[in-house]
Structure 1
Amino acid sequence: MGDMGGDQVSQAVAGSAALLRSVSGRDWKGVDAGRLDWSCRRTAEHICLDLIMYAGRLAARATGYVPFEIVVPDGTDNAGVVDVLETTGALLTAAIRTAPREVRAFHPSPFRSANREGFAAMGVAEVLLHTHDIAEGLGVPYEPPAELCEGVLTRIFPHVRPGLDPWRTLLWATGRGELPGRAPVTGWTWSNNLVIGAGRVTLQGVTPAAAADLRAGGTGGFDWIEGGPFEGTRDAAGMVLKAYEAGVHRPEWGLFVLVRTEDGRAVGGMGFHGNPDEEGRAEIGYDLAPAARGQGYATEALRALSERALARDDVKALFATVDRVNTPSQGVVSRAGFTRVSEEHGEDADQYAYELRG
């Protein structure tokens, strides 16, 4: 699963511009764009607005909506709109390339923010999907590179089971096509990774793309301290990827990387072994790079993650197991409010079982 950044935005815009220039002499105003209620002309202008809006939010580190519009002057021909598309694409590309990894800016769906990778994925998605709409309206073929589609799916559609054809899967996931064996999509949203503040660290949700990289021995896009990521984090990344491939992954019940707020360095991983069961119980686990242990990071993160999970109506209790010989980890769960429970809850000869109820 490849990168997602300024290069990918530039590639998507270049492909869109090439297609749109080839049909710029056609009537865009009098033809609807695919299944949309917009004309092809309005749809092209909408792409430009999205690109500059994303660039502005990311560049300004916006914490809410930035109220502005982009206006294409009357009399501008379709080729001029393509010029605007290329310009706004270049602005988003520049904003992504110059934004530090830790920077996040406002986006409403669903966790209220996105990082540079998220804005890149959203920008690419807007370009690919709306170029498709215009092409469909004008009756011309359009199919973007599969790697761009896969990059979008593995970053902002973590809840969508991957298919053999990333482009067809993306079209289906956004209500623009059909896939054998899957019900039509009538409502959809994408999902940027969830970030939870926890004092000296933040818990940053791991996307399927990052999980694949971690499982393969990479960094997942994080700047790790020496000794990280530890083996438990790589194993958990494999669990995320398995759930994603099965179509049952939910970002809030996946893996989070613990990142120090003071320097942006990743120190460990924490997360759930899956979605809550029918009784509203979810199992939680964690590990830290050796150099980060004994400093309270895990306790702070576990408190924050537990508090968020137990605030939900569908969660009644959290569960954790700790090796009997791992006294420091027993201290972590105890300080976070967990208490020892009986064997029927998972305790055995090698591990203690702990529970925290809402």
Structure 2
Amino acid sequence: MRETGGDQVEEAVAGCVAALRPTVARDWAEVRAGGLDWNCHETAVHVADDLLAYAANLAGRAQDAYVPFELKLDDGTDNSGLLHVIETTGALLAAAVRTAPPGVRAFHPYPFRSADRTGFAAMGIAEVLLHTHDMAAGLDIAYRPSEELAASVLEVLFPHVQPGPTPWATLLWATGRGELPGRAPVTGWRWHNNLVIAADRLDLVGIRPAEARDLRLGGDGGFEWTEGGPYEGTRDAAGFLLKAYEGGVHRPEFGVFALVRREDGRAVGGMGFHAAPDEEGRVEIGYDLTEPARGHGYATEALRALAGWALSRLDVTSLFATVEPGNAPSQAVLTRAGFTRVSEDGEGPAFELRTAR
């Protein structure tokens, strides 16, 4: 699959510079940037500052806060120099993204206090696209990025937003900058990096819509799998995730996770929720492992971590799972993870784990 990465960061920055260069003789400080409170000069500095901050956090593996420095222009820097700064900070982010290993995560506050290289690339692209739009509106010039870039931002950072007629129009609407037929105006928004839940030997890595699409179509979803992976259950779950995303009902934290072994970065299976919790706080889970990964306790370990995360939430009161009648190993996984057998029907025994609240 095509990963959102350094090439896309550079493409976004090149489009920004090409759009704004014809206006460098104007006084950007005297022009408000679209609907922002900033002028165009302040907005351009903000773009460069964010690109540098994202590069620094990812390259420096920041864990609890932004790396403690900020961009400061030399006195007398003109608009041409400012565009050069944007080009340079964009190149730094692209380099940081290209050199970061897949599993590395660094600090970003929204919403789970970390992002991986794909998330940082998408955030940089989003800053460039959206704020170039703002500046272009203030300067009354044409600007329209590629639909592919806008789509990559939506699928990485806005998995909770239903796709619209075109990605660029949808991204503008999702960030309060435009309208979409049949949808209410957006007055407040945050982007949404994927959730990672740590277990003892594994990380449960939230699968994004683009990754789910690739898995459903027979790809690897951007993960390096152990032999035989991904298993068919993970591909089916990816299809359900994609259907929920396209239908506008996907809640990313209640999606599907790849089980990534920390020692070698290989995915050994998939685990996740069939949907968001119902009105009573009840949510169904499912899981599978590649054949070489079975018998090592990975499923039990991952299920305990996922259950602990879910039951710590106020909107979840119980987890349940159904198992095929002859699948004794899966039934043992549920029992070891603390689930209790509560019923049995034609589909097989059902197990439940309830919160202590």
Letter in 2 for 1:229: P
| Seq. identity, % | 68
Residues of 1 paired with 2:205 and 2:251: CA distance?
A: 14
2:161, 2:174 within 8 Å by CA — same for their partners in 1?
yes
Q: Does residue 1:354 correspond to 2:357, yes or no?
A: no
**Distance (whole Å) between structure 1 residues aligned to residue 27 and residue 166 of structure 2:** 32
1:158 aligned counterpart, secondary structure: coil
> Which AA in structure 1 matches 2:55?
A
Determine the structure 1 residue equivalent to 2:11: 11
Secondary structure of the corresponding residue to residue 292 of structure 2: helix
- Report matched runs for 1:289-328 at 5 Å: 289-328=290-329
In 2, distance between residues paired with 1:315 and 1:87?
46
Q: Which amino acid aligns with 1:121?
A: A
1:75-86, aligned counterparts within 5 Å?
Answer: 75-86=76-87
> Match of 1:30, as an amino acid?
E
* Contact in 1 for aligned 2:216/2:238 (Cα 8 Å): yes
Gaps of 5+ in 1: none
RMSD (Å) for aligned C-alpha atoms: 0.8
Aligned position for 2:42 = 42
Show CA shifts across 1:35-76 (max 9, x none): 000000000010000001000000011112212111112211
Contact 2:342 2:351 (8 Å CA) reproduced? yes
Counterpart-to-counterpart distance in 1, 2:77 and 2:219: 48
The reply on whether 1:199 has 2:200 as its aligned counterpart is yes
Report deviation, 1:2.
4.0
Count of paired positions: 354
How far did residue 147 of structure 1 move? 0.2
SS of corresponding position for 2:353: strand
Alpha-carbon distance between aligned partners in 1 of 2:312 and 2:198, rounded to the nearest angstrom:
15
Q: Which residue of 1 aligns with 2:26?
A: 26
Residue 251 (structure 1) aligned with residue 252 (structure 2): yes
Shift of 1:77: 0.9
Whether the aligned pair in 1 keeps the contact of 2:3 and 2:222 (CA below 8 Å) is no
* Counterpart Cα distance in 2 of 1:157 and 1:2: 18
The one-letter amino acid paired with 2:197 is I
Deviations 1:258-280 (A, max 9, x none): 00011100000000000001111
SS of alignment partner, residue 28 of structure 2? coil
Are 1:65 and 2:62 matched, yes or no? Answer: no
Q: Is the 8 A contact 1:2 1:147 kept in 2?
A: no
Pairs within 5 Å for 1:175-186:
175-186=176-187
Decide whether the 8 Å contact of 1:272 with 1:282 is kept in 2: yes
For 1:209, give the aligned amino acid.
A
In 2, the alpha carbon distance for the partners of 1:217 and 1:135 equals: 41
Instruction: Check the 8 A contact 1:2/1:151 in 2, yes or no.
Output: no
What SS does structure 2 have at the residue aligned with 1:341? strand
Question: What aligned pairs does 1:158-169 form with structure 2 within 5 A after superposition?
Answer: 158-169=159-170
- Separation in 2, partners of 1:173, 1:95: 27
Query: CA separation in 2, counterparts of 1:143 and 1:161?
Result: 21
2:228 maps to 227
Please report the TM-score for the alignment, with normalisation by the length of structure 1: 0.98
**Amino acid across the alignment from 1:357:** R
What letter is aligned with 1:150?
A
Name the CA distance, whole Å, in 2 between partners of 1:314 and 1:266: 29
CA distance in 2, matches of 1:42, 1:65: 20
SS of 2:238's equivalent in the other structure is: helix
In structure 2, what is the Cα distance between the partners aligned to 1:317 and 1:28?
56
CA distance in 1, matches of 2:68, 2:169: 34
Kept in 2, the 8 Å contact 1:34–1:136? The answer is: yes
User: Aligned runs of 1:112-123 on 2, under 5 Å?
Assistant: 112-123=113-124
Please report how far the alpha carbon of residue 20 of structure 1 lies from its aligned counterpart in structure 2 after TM superposition: 1.2
Separation of aligned partners in 2, 1:17 and 1:150: 21
- Displacement of 1:350 after TM fit? 3.6
Q: Secondary structure at the match of 1:191?
A: coil
Supply the distance in 2 between the matched residues of 1:72 and 1:180 (Cα, whole angstroms): 42
Confirm or deny: 8 A CA contact 2:19 2:142 kept in the other structure. no
Q: What's the CA shift for 1:31?
A: 0.7
Tell me if structure 2 keeps the 8 A contact 1:159–1:244: yes
1:228-248: CA deviations, max 9, x gaps?
000000000001100101111
* More displaced stretch, 217-226 vs 65-74: 65-74
CA offsets 1:9-38 (integer angstroms, 9 cap, x no match):
000000101111111111200011000000
Residues 111 and 192, structure 1, Cα contact 8 Å, conserved in 2: yes
TM-score (norm 2): 0.98
Contact 1:211 1:237 in 2 (8 A): yes
